[in-house]
Structure 1
């Protein structure tokens, strides 16, 4: 029997790509999705739990798997209230990690962000850094934190600022070399591939920068 994976954020850009990859991978026989909305995919591997993900701890009995992939995140433009923002970007991943620890799940993979720093004066970076710290404190055996730069691809949302940024980065990408490679815009396909590869490859490292994600996904 194959492995069971949990995805949080499967309706998002990277999470949906990851879901398709897991469906196609014969090593996985069950993929549990915890979300408010259904995904637009049909597979006998999928088990959907339509819940309020802010109340994830109420679904502990269903939160059983070999691996957890957390692709949850919002933006300051979409969620202007800082308390609501933190409840999503900090609360959901940290509660998921606590449940994973409680239920003996040995692999936890989460998408953070370049610039994450618990001591940052910037609220977004500080929230991501605090989230990383809280997750690492759970001491899950195989904890993987990815820090991608600006994520490329097309979302189903109208994010004007992000669209402008992507246009600029498309022009700048070829010139970002050496120590600046970590600032290159990264394809969500590469992030999803890296998540799967690292989940299935024990390592002694927990935090991966954007250029490392790109390198791992292309090897």
Structure 2
């Protein structure tokens, strides 16, 4: 049994991670810190609502979680510009990772994005944010640093991104030809959430295959869909 602190619990991916954590045995205590209350309810869950992201690292000293998962992220539009997005997607995640290490967290899981390290793509501001956080997490010396790099994240958002419904439909349509084609471009948020929890659980059990453990799209599908029956036989 392990304790876990989740950031980004009200977003599309984070809400699926939280729902999965609440259902799966092996996690005795769940904390969340977010700007609004998550929808998932559980006897294991203690949800902290705090609008000021600058204060989010303070509770770690009292919690002492063994695992921290961050699915914290935003869009340029919702953040109100690239500078504000950088403060959330990069600065807040870096601060969380550093404080987690200072408080003795053993496993840190970060939901990043695929395709950020290409020659051209790595120069985009969004890619720089993700790369900066990834490099921080993998360089801090956690017992287990786990990075998920999903493709297009499929699912229904509370506030749909511009073009999001069209992207969902386009990628999902590929499954009619080949599930592999869909999997190579995008993954369901539920599958990503399950993969994050499965990886965290394996790390807590001492079964993570390497450190850092980078989960590309195929790895996410394997852990979150194909091997999920080993974690939750009812899924």
For the criterion TM > 0.5, the same-fold answer is yes
Q: Which residue does the alignment assign to 1:77? A: 77
Distance 1:5 1:189 in 2: 19
**Structure 1: which 5+ residue stretches go unaligned?**
none
Distance 1:121 1:175 in 2: 34
Q: Which residue does the alignment assign to 1:95? A: 95
Q: Which residue does the alignment assign to 1:20? A: 19
Q: How many residues align?
A: 217
Alpha-carbon offset, residue 159 of structure 1? 1.8
Matches within 5 A, 1:33-44: 33-44=32-43
Residue-by-residue CA offset, 1:56-100 (whole Å, 9 max, x unaligned):
233342342111111111112322421111111111221111111
Residue-by-residue CA offset, 1:20-59 (whole Å, 9 max, x unaligned):
2212223222111111111223322111222222332333
Residue-by-residue CA offset, 1:124-158 (whole Å, 9 max, x unaligned):
11211111111111111101000000011111113
How does the TM-score come out when normalised to structure 1?
Answer: 0.89
SS in 2 for 1:14: helix
Q: Which residue does the alignment assign to 1:58? A: 58
Question: Could you tell me whether the CA contact under 8 Å between 2:174 and 2:182 is conserved in 1?
Answer: no
**Structure 2: which 5+ residue stretches go unaligned?**
203-207, 228-235
Q: CA RMSD for the aligned pairs? A: 2.2
The 1:63/1:88 distance shift into structure 2, 3 A limit, reads farther
Matches within 5 A, 1:20-169: 20-51=19-50, 52-117=52-117, 120-169=122-171
Q: Which residue does the alignment assign to 2:220? A: 213
The 1:41/1:172 distance shift into structure 2, 3 A limit, reads closer
Residue-by-residue CA offset, 1:186-218 (whole Å, 9 max, x unaligned):
011111111111112222152111122101221
Question: Could you tell me whether the CA contact under 8 Å between 1:11 and 1:39 is conserved in 2?
Answer: yes
Distance 2:168 2:198 in 1: 26
Alpha-carbon offset, residue 176 of structure 1? 6.7
SS in 1 for 2:58: helix
Distance 1:181 1:139 in 2: 35
How does the TM-score come out when normalised to structure 2?
Answer: 0.84
Q: Which residue does the alignment assign to 2:173? A: 171
